[in-house]
Amino acid sequence: MKAKLESTFAYFHPKNWIIILILSLTRLLVLLPYPFIVKIGELL
């Protein structure tokens, strides 16, 4: 059972998932300050 669990874990967490996670995190970091940038643009 443990070996089966580990193989499924390995299947669900390939290197691709790390890349997807990094991409989604960078997208989040780009999208989060966007309203603030717009606000600053309006103030200027």
Binning pLDDT at 50, 70 and 90, where does residue 5 land? low
Domain spans of the chain, in order of start? 2-43
| Distance separating alpha carbons of residues 16 and 29, to the nearest angstrom | 20
Start-to-end CA distance of the chain, whole Å, equals 62
Binning pLDDT at 50, 70 and 90, where does residue 11 land? low
Mean pLDDT (the chain) is 79
Q: Report which residue type is found at 31.
A: L
CB atoms within 10 A of CB 31: 9
| Distance separating alpha carbons of residues 40 and 42, to the nearest angstrom | 5
Whether pTM > 0.75 for this model: the answer is: no
